[in-house]
Chain A
């Protein structure tokens, strides 16, 4: 088993091989290439389970790092290619391969009969490969490569039905918005590596960067500038406001793609990267504050947007934005474990919800919940699994979402105890947003499953290949939460599994030293502790956070249950009996208007960014190039011509008379040559030049 970790790269390479094989001869196979993808992911999944088991049972353990110095990049920079296998990597490997395998299996039925079926499978495999390149990277440059490749796959899959212009527009919007953030990421990586330059010849190495940051070898400006720029990449990739605008549009892609890429894996890449570099960003209160605030804004305002949507996939997309906001906010309040724990559980239940939505859409041929209704009886398996997913998303007690979301709220509470306002924001706004989440999911569930069937098709349950993955994901949507719950053992659990060894020791947050309330983190530097320990110490003297399994928080549990019941009750009142004449969500006056207009971000972006660049700036630049610069050149040309003409007429003809020199540059010479070209005399001309040159060359060679 030990040796399995050394071969973790095989998990990454398998989908690359299957992608190539599917592209090469997938069409000739009985399943049109799907079998190759499923087989590769199946093996990869088994290996990932083994790796997860190995790292989990032996946690905490030293990371396994293997790399080779792949290529110099000039000036002493080295581009490494390698892998870093620790609990965080193992967790991501498990998540990505599980969801990807489920999507691979599910898509065989869902995508049946699509024109580009084989291409679809090749792209799924290619995406999985790219994502794994990112999660296994031992250095930031490799991570950037994976990061950009997943963006490319996302672009190609959003625009999968490219015959429709709107789909391609969505794909472009996604690619360009994330590309904007990618520039931030790339410059951020450059900033960090510039700070590392001189310390090492592998300045992209993640472990070395983390180590240098905790050792205080990186200057504050490097850390703040570098991490904020990298965070810009996370904002665009992980759908944080205001660069979230592409994610709802990305739902134009096939639903399995939405499940895999735009819910469970790619969009969490930003959070993953923040987790990887947590020791660096933990050096700066400013960076953590910005991250927390962006996360809080997103988790709240992103969730509200789901209230007015009719398209089931868009409801889920906005909920993804909101949940990603939780993860990002958690990072900003020191909730490293809470954040990636939520990433982990969210991956399962959101993939479940999307695949469930796919099953519904498959049955009624519409994305709109107003076209569904009464699906409970016709689609019992889809119904039950979807409800489990919704409960997990809403954070209903004892589901996975409950444990992970509460971890985040508690992380906020702890941070607040250290005297940071952002902690309070995460706690209270997080709670409020949980109510919003429950309400919009309850609204969707009532409209989809209760009441009368409003679709134009007789609904039918999906086949085994679609229901099977739903059931497995439903199990995981509950079970995954018990990796870190009051029921978990002290060791091993999710926290010991994914902790960052670099954070061993004290004083993770150096900026807290100067605060009036000192706030040190002991032990493994991971905040996932029981709130009760804190509650006792909050406010008086240094707050000491201990790690360990979470304890029960009756107060929080009570609030959560009250909010949950209230939200479900409201939703039942409005939607319990089917689609109301007037949806109350659309009767809220200015609030509805703001939400329907998506707060005006899309419109703003189009009116004040796209249009000015495309129609004004670009037009102006073109004109300046064609009119002013060319005009100036033409002016010079004319002046030269008249000067030459004058030379020719006065000096040449009258003074020198007959000399060839002057005429060589004159307009007459030009027109003469051009006439010859026109008249086809050129062959001789070219021939003469060729002959002349060759004679010259030979003559000089001989004259040696």
Chain B
């Protein structure tokens, strides 16, 4: 279908537009219908894009381009490779689920809430699909505004501080990137992805530009030590905001690293890779250790995100076909499992209006379905084989081991710590004696809530059991990026040449 990517971006925007023209004081029902229909339509559109996508081709596909600002040669050009298509699918899948899940708890200014999410969705799809550097930058920065509003208006009691912190952190990172983007424009004379890619940059230029890009993306991921905005943003954001933040927004950082930082600045990438591996490992362990201590379950999961996203960056900078492909798979896995966890936390919060782990206990007796799903999702997050986390984390370690053994071995201890904080939290909340009227009266998940979680849980199991489609989609694109960096991704099966891989 022609211009399917533009259509995918336009559909949620049309929904937001419809909401804007909805008369003041109109029925909440109409708002809900518009929101769900528009985001579901975007999901269908992205499925159409998937149907038109040719697997096995690592280049950009479904390209479309419109003149945007002809004066400076900026185009509204979109295209996808396997990586961006996968992330678009994740975005369009999560958005309708988030909206449905939010309706029970968000009653205040519902129209603005739904509209913000639709705009946010469109912007994020734009981030993943843009092939024009300026367009990418605009989308990338634009995501800040709706997310800022979602945290700042519908968030918890310290939402203002959290929203400002979120905005400052990411904006500062973004400004550095803008400078780099403008420099690249002056060199290439165009914002086109391929034009910039064709540039021959000196080592010094690469170093500076890489640093600017990497910093902007590192804030988004977030990498240690620029992660401190995330726990606050998560804790204060409404459930839907947390799910979107963890599920999709963080991936813009890792996606950006893979799409821009690596292929644009291959020499700097190779030079800085060990540093990034080191930072990732520190983040993996640090995030996990801090998570252990948290008394607020949402903060605990927020810090676990720091740890898990560290794995993604580790895989990306292992610069190895296995690890880097798996890191893309892990982006999706993290989105699904952490998204599901935040949904569960939200459902529990609606019942109890607290997120203090100590307030709960013995809940499994009253809420067996929630407890079962919680455990399953926790197992996915701690990379239990058979679930999706494992098919991401294991190949990341496998590939990283080939390029940097120390990093791989240290990172693998993140798995032990993950088991520690997730099981400990589960135990404290759901097991033990059932005490107190609040715990006694907690009700189990409703059918609608199970319905929202169902797609995520099914994917968690399905990807764990059969990851082939994901790898098939991702691998050619990753190979293309790695070949730009100069990594040989062809499999050499000559026994003579590699008899002693150990050296």
The answer, among A186, A194, A677, A697, for a CB contact under 8 Å with B149, is A677
Residue of A nearest to B433 (CB): A163
Name the prevailing secondary structure of the A interface residues: helix
A408 CB → nearest B CB, Å? 32
Chain B residues with CB under 8 A of A186: 394, 397, 412, 415
Closest to B6 in A: A701
Contacts of A693 in B (CB 8 A): 13, 119, 122, 142
A140→B9 CA distance, assembly (Å): 44
State the CA gap A76–B415 with chains docked (Å). 24
A75/B489 contact (C-beta < 8 A), A180-B416, A198-B498, A691-B20 known: yes
A175 touches B419 (CB 8 A): yes
State whether A619 and B293 are in contact (beta carbons under 8 Å apart), knowing that A183-B413, A183-B415, A194-B401 are contacts in the complex.
Answer: yes
Q: Are B16 and A168 in contact (CB under 8 A)?
A: no
Mark interface residues in A173-201 (1 if CB within 8 Å of B CB, else 0). Answer: 00110011011001100110111011111
- Chain B positions 308 through 340: 1 when the CB is less than 8 Å from some CB of chain A, otherwise 0: 000000000000111111100100000000000
- Residues of chain A with a CB closer than 8 A to B53's CB: none
Q: Which residues does chain A contribute within 8 Å of B169, judged by CB atoms?
A: 633
A193-231 interface with B by 8 A CB criterion? 193-195, 197-201, 217-219, 221-222
In the complex with contacts A74-B324, A75-B325, A77-B398, A677-B152 CB distance below 8 A? yes
Q: Are B398 and A201 in contact (CB under 8 A)?
A: no
B427 touches A690 (CB 8 A): no
Minimum C-beta distance from A493 to chain B (A):
36
Q: How far is the CA of A685 from the CA of B115 in the complex (A)?
A: 11
B228 touches A194 (CB 8 A): no
CA–CA, A145 to B432, complex, Å? Answer: 29
- In the complex, the answer to whether A630 meets B228 with C-beta atoms within 8 Å is yes
| B475 CB contact (under 8 Å) in A74, A193, A195, A630 | A74
For the complex, is B76 an interface residue (Cβ under 8 Å from A)?
yes
**B157 contacts chain A at the CB level, 8 A cutoff:** no
Tally chain B residues at the interface, Cβ within 8 Å: 102
**Choice from A72, A79, A625 contacting B290 with Cβ under 8 Å:** A625
- In contact, B17 and A621 (Cβ under 8 angstroms): no
Contact with B along A658-683 (1 / 0, CB 8 A): 00000000000010001001001011
Q: Known: A73-B398, A187-B412, A198-B498. Contact between A162 and B16, CB under 8 A?
A: no
Does B500 have its Cβ within 8 Å of any Cβ on chain A? yes
Complex Cα distance, B142 from A617, in Å, reads: 39
Residues of B within 8 A of A703 (CB): 66-68
Q: Which residue of B lies closest to A74 (CB)?
A: B325
> Does A112 count as interface, using CB distance less than 8 angstroms?
no
**A463 CB-CB contact with B under 8 Å:** no
Give bound CA distance, A628 to B365, whole Å. 42
Q: Mark A618-651, 1 if CB is under 8 A from B, else 0.
A: 1101100110011001000100100000000000
Residues of A within 8 A of B119 (CB): 686, 689-690, 693
Complex-state Cα separation, A701 to B77, whole angstroms: 11
Given contacts A74-B478, A198-B492, A621-B290, contact A629 B432 (CB under 8 A): no
Interface residues of B in 279-329 (CB under 8 A from A): 286, 289-290, 292-294, 320-326, 329
* A147-B390 Cα distance, complex, nearest whole Å: 13
- Cα-based distance from A674 to B155 in the complex (angstroms): 13
Q: Is the CB of B16 within 8 A of A176?
A: no
> Please, which residue of chain A has its CB at the minimum distance from the CB of B142?
A693
Complex Cα distance A214/B14, Å?
66
Distance between Cα atoms of A111 and B115 in the complex (Å): 55
B362 within 8 Å of A by Cβ? yes
Contact in complex: A74, B397 (CB < 8 Å): no
Number of A-B contacts (CB under 8 A): 251
A622 to B421 Cα, complex, angstroms:
14
Interface string of B5-38 (1 = CB under 8 A from A): 0100110011011011000000000000000000
Q: Kindly state the separation between the CA atoms of A621 and B384 in the bound complex, as whole angstroms.
A: 26
Q: Is A165 an interface residue (CB 8 A)?
A: yes
Q: Give the residue name and chain of the A residue nearest to B320 (CB).
A: A75
Chain A min CB distance to B301 (Å): 15
- What residues of A have a CB within 8 angstroms of the CB of B168 in the complex? 633, 637, 640
State in angstroms the CA–CA spacing of A147 and B386 once bound together.
Answer: 11
Q: Is A704 engaged at the interface, CB distance under 8 Å to the other chain?
A: yes
- The interface residues of chain B lying within 8 Å CB-to-CB of A144 are 385
Interface pair A197/B498, CB less than 8 Å apart: yes
* Chain B positions within 8 Å of A77 at CB level: 322, 395, 398
B112 within 8 A of A: yes
Inter-subunit contact A670/B164 (CB<8 Å): yes
Whether A75 contacts B321 by the Cβ 8 Å rule is yes
The chain A residue with its CB closest to the CB of B122 is A693
* B38 shortest CB reach to chain A, Å: 12
- Contact (Cβ within 8 A) A190 B401: yes
B420 CB–A CB distance under 8 Å = yes
Contacts A197-B402, A686-B116, A701-B76 known; A163 to B17 CB distance under 8 Å? no
Give the distance to chain A from B224, nearest Cβ to Cβ, in Å: 9
Once the chains bind, are A700 and B501 in contact (CB under 8 Å)? Answer: no
Residues of the A chain whose Cβ atoms lie less than 8 Å from the Cβ of B497: 198
Is A522 in the interface zone, CB < 8 Å from B?
Answer: no
CB distance from A235 to the nearest CB of B (A): 15
Q: Is the CB of B289 within 8 A of A183?
A: no
Q: Which of A542-590 contact B (CB under 8 A)?
A: none
Cα of A546 to Cα of B441 in the assembled complex, Å: 71
A608 contacts the other chain (CB 8 A): no
Selected contact of B292 from candidates A145, A198, A613, CB within 8 Å: A613
B99 at the interface (CB under 8 A from A): no
Residues of chain B contacted by A691 (CB below 8 angstroms): 17, 20
User: What are 24 A-B interface contacts by the 8 Å CB criterion?
Assistant: A72-B471, A73-B326, A74-B321, A74-B326, A75-B395, A149-B384, A165-B431, A168-B431, A172-B423, A176-B420, A182-B415, A183-B412, A183-B415, A190-B398, A190-B401, A197-B402, A613-B289, A613-B420, A618-B293, A686-B112, A689-B146, A690-B118, A693-B122, A693-B142
Which A-B residue pairs are the 9 nearest by beta carbons?
A198-B498, A74-B325, A75-B321, A75-B322, A76-B491, A219-B502, A145-B385, A71-B468, A704-B66
Q: A187-B409, A198-B501 are in contact. List 4 more A-B contacts (CB 8 A).
A: A163-B431, A186-B394, A625-B286, A630-B228
Q: Which residues of B contact A (CB under 8 A)?
A: 6, 9-10, 13-14, 16-17, 19-20, 66-68, 76, 109, 111-112, 115-116, 118-119, 122, 142, 145-146, 149, 152-153, 160, 164-165, 168-169, 225, 227-229, 231, 286, 289-290, 292-294, 320-326, 329, 362, 364-365, 379, 384-386, 390-391, 394-395, 397-399, 401-402, 408-409, 412-413, 415-416, 419-420, 423-424, 427, 431-434, 466-468, 471-472, 474-475, 478, 489, 491-495, 497-502
